[in-house]
Amino acid sequence: MLSYALYLLILLHIFPTAAAATPEAYTATDFILLNCGASSNLNDPSGRSWDTDERSRYAPSNAATISIPSKATNQHHSVSQIPYETARVFTSPFTYTFPVLTGPKFLRLYFYPNIYSNFTTTLSFFSVTANNFTLLSNFSAFLNSPSSSNPSFMKEFIIYVLDNQMLYLTFTPNTNSFAFINGIEIVSIPDKLYFRGNDVRIKLVDKMLRLSYLKNDTALENLYRLNVGGSNVEIQDDSGQIRGMFRAWYQDDVYINGPDVSYMPHAEDVHINYTAQTPPYSAPEIVYKTSRGMGNESGLDWRFPVDSGFYYLLRLHFCEVLLEITEPNQRVFTIYINDLPAEIQADVIAWTGGPEIPICKDYIAYVPPNDGRRGKKDLRLSLFPNLQGLPMYTNAMLNGLEIFKLSDSNRSLAAMNPEPVITSSPTAVAAPSPEKTKSKKSSVIYVVIGSVTAALAAVAAVSFLIFRQRVKDSVSSYSRTSGSRVPLPSDLCRHLLLEEIKSATDNFDDNFVIGKGGFGNVYKGFVPDASGSGSTTVAIKRLNPSSNQGAREFLTEIEMLSKLRHLHLVSLIGYCDENGEMILVYDYMAHGTLCDHLYNSENLPLPWKQRLGICIGAAKGLHYLHSGTKCAIIHRDVKSTNILLDEKWVAKVSDFGLSKAGPTGGDHTHVTTLVKGSFGYVDPEYYMRQQLTDKSDVYSFGVVLFEVLCARPAIIHSLPREQVNLAEWAKTCYGKGTIEQIIDSNLEGQIAPESLSKFVETAIRCLRDKGIERPTMTNIVWSLEFAMQLQEAYENRGGHVEADGGISFVGVGTSFPLLDSGSKSSGLSTSSSDQKVMSEDVFSELMNPLGR
């Protein structure tokens, strides 16, 4: 396996640093702007001059007989006049011919659905081809309009024009329909900007992680071009040249999925050092000077609606501009596309050789159809910190993003129009037949058919616009509207009135707050019993009203906990979902979290036997989730802050917002899902493969065991690199036989050597790299209970502390002495009779599953 240093050298060889001479910006060699249907040349707000296509050399000689120039009947105030005020309407196939130079071109088509000379675009369906590529088919500009408040839009394609070839652009109306276009823009682009041919291999993100190439026999359609973490970049700001490529870059806010993502400040004093590999025309400086980073431990996650059944090119733009990050391995993260790993160790400094040097990384991903049918589907991009090499900063970042659809094997980019949803709607104005020679009867039939079709088209458009708006909403699938209810039996989980919650918390007074988390504040309160005869002390967890996140976790928590009852699981009493509120009500845990009694707290340190008892209780709760329910449940966020302690110090596992149903058995050995959890606790195997099993909880629980033993957090960034990650540090110390050096000093003289040996052995096995080698929760419960028996037997024998006051250790070699392999306590596996006893012991603690 390559050493990390050698790995960096290879990266630096592949991605050399800035060239000695700064590469020049790009100036377009072909630059054509057609204001279709206009009577004269005009300038747009950016200062660009648009030529009329009337009698132009680009239009066919019979243009006057097969097309009509027209002006929009109703110009919306938000729509720019140039090039949207006029259009050319085609009643027959119409081909523009553009004599351009060899090479790739941006082809931009501008549409404004309106009424043009009594041609109502609700009835317009047509196809567009360019040099034997199908760009649009059965296309309705009206149905694809982005919104009613800003109905105009542009579609951008990239076409490579071969030697001795012109660019032919053909509009073909459907039968009994017509086509139209408001504006056409053609701008040449650098040869190797997107079509890199055999010079650059691109990762094909699938389960095999193959390599691919992007050659000029493919057409592209740009769907997203984003200035991540920054503001919109207008076309005139895309390039410093008078004739640049005029790309608009938009904000990414509406596509981000996840809480507390942060903007990196605009680095005003930073100089972007472009290179030969990433020249100035790759993206404007403002894209590289702004970025989005993580605001908490959830990573970065975007969702982009795209057409399924196509391959997509994702170009990620990076530039490290934070002053404190100047060397490799300071910020390392993993890139996932469609929940598959595209880059395991993304390290911008290692790629570029230094800060303030931009780089583009390309990936190709396929979005499969839904049940064999093409339609809209989310393309997901996710970035998570990679802590395997113990980087200095736990973060991920992205500066810019471009997403292109690639033409399929039929040389087509065409996708379906949004499916119409038929509801009542006012009848739209129908377009008359473009052929004046038709009989009156035919005209009447056409108008009637057209009216019905227009009505359906209008309804479809309204439905589509609603759908698009919902996609842009960052709120999750649960609709937080007044009066919305989660359908759950009242005997399992009470639905509490908001008035009851407000009364219990004095209208959410800060004096009632007992904790804060990613979901929101937690309040202590008193709610009436279900019988109404008394009151119950409860913990009330309220989603921050200003947040759009957490709704999915809210539903998951209710669905999970309303069906689970166990001594070592926190009990859900009820919930409230009125007036946009999402509130969960639990049994009150008097002693808070396990974490509260280990570190960063004024609480007295827990004695060893109490810590061990808490670990046994938590293990039993997890064992019940994995084995005691009809379908195994994987918690997915096991950590010391999610283990609560009641007034009798009984441990209860809590927070099921990230829980997932486990594999069903047989060939289903895991659940493939996006990585969720907390840094320092996430199973490395799950992190790398996105294959979730119950052994992922086992790994997290192993970290908790060392938290209990060492009284320190799972991650401490201020420590030396080898000590940052508790799990890795504990394994290192175990291998060296120096575990005693990291044990909580408050435990001196309390731990029996044999008990310590069994406890550490159990924790180490939980942290094994391969899940299959880790113990089950059944084994863990048995081992911890055996460690308790060893502790009690030691104390009963009059075990004592050595004179120097330290813990009496009997370590031999590089680890603690394990018991004889032939004895009952030799490992974490048990005989069938042992397992039977264990099962009965655990399940004897099941509570009555009925509600209170």
**Residue 45 to residue 121: CA distance in whole angstroms:** 26
Strands 31-35 and 49-52, by their bridges, are: parallel
For residue 566, the model assigns a pLDDT of: 86
For residue 820, the model assigns a pLDDT of: 32
Question: Quick one: CA dihedral 501, 504, 507, 509, positive or negative?
Answer: negative
- Mark 66-88 as b/e (b = at least 16 C-beta within 10 Å): ebbbbebeeeeeebbebbbbbbb
Q: Determine whether 627 is exposed, middle or buried from the number of CB atoms within 10 Å of its CB (0-12, 13-18, 19+).
A: middle
**Residue 326 to residue 500: CA distance in whole angstroms:** 54
**Residue 632 to residue 234: CA distance in whole angstroms:** 52
Contacts of 236 (CB under 8 A, 6+ apart): 46, 47, 246
Annotated binding site: 541
Task: Report helix, strand or coil for 220.
Answer: strand
Q: What is the dihedral of CA 804, 805, 810, 811, to 10 degrees?
A: -90
- Please name the amino acid found at residue 492: L
Annotated binding site for ATP: 541
Q: In the CATH hierarchy, which top-level class contains the domain 478-588?
A: alpha beta
**Residue 418 to residue 465: CA distance in whole angstroms:** 10
pLDDT per residue over 212-242, tens digit each?
Answer: 889 999 999 999 999 999 899 999 888 655 5
User: 693 with 662: CB under 8 angstroms?
Assistant: yes
Identify the H or E element spanning 704.
Answer: helix 694-710
pTM over 0.75: no
For residue 826, the model assigns a pLDDT of: 29
Task: Tell me if the domain spanning 31-188 has CATH number 1.10.390.10.
Answer: no
**Residue 184 to residue 154: CA distance in whole angstroms:** 9
For residue 686, the model assigns a pLDDT of: 85
**Residue 759 to residue 383: CA distance in whole angstroms:** 35
Strand partners, 367: 310
For residue 190, the model assigns a pLDDT of: 92
Contacts of 99 (CB under 8 A, 6+ apart): 166
Nearest alpha-carbon partner for 659 in 713, 622, 688? 622
Strands 310-318 and 359-367, by their bridges, are: antiparallel
**Residue 832 to residue 331: CA distance in whole angstroms:** 48
> What does the DSSP 8-state code read for residue 176?
T
How many CA atoms, within 13 angstroms, populate the side-chain half-sphere of residue 221? 23
pLDDT per residue over 745-798, tens digit each?
Answer: 999 989 999 999 999 999 999 999 999 999 999 999 999 999 999 999 988 887
Cα 780 from chain centroid? 34
What stretches in the chain show pLDDT beneath 70?
1-24, 209, 239-243, 258-268, 295-298, 371-372, 418-492, 517-518, 530-534, 545-552, 663-670, 672-674, 799-852
Task: Report helix, strand or coil for 462.
Answer: helix
For residue 600, the model assigns a pLDDT of: 83
Q: Where are the domains of the chain?
A: 4-18+197-406, 31-188, 478-588
694-710 and 777-796 are packed helices; what angle lies between their axes, rounded to 10 degrees? Answer: 30
Question: Quick one: CA dihedral 495, 499, 504, 510, positive or negative?
Answer: positive
Task: Report helix, strand or coil for 23.
Answer: coil
For residue 335, the model assigns a pLDDT of: 94
pLDDT per residue over 249-279, tens digit each?
Answer: 999 989 988 654 665 655 667 899 999 999 9
Catalytic positions are 637
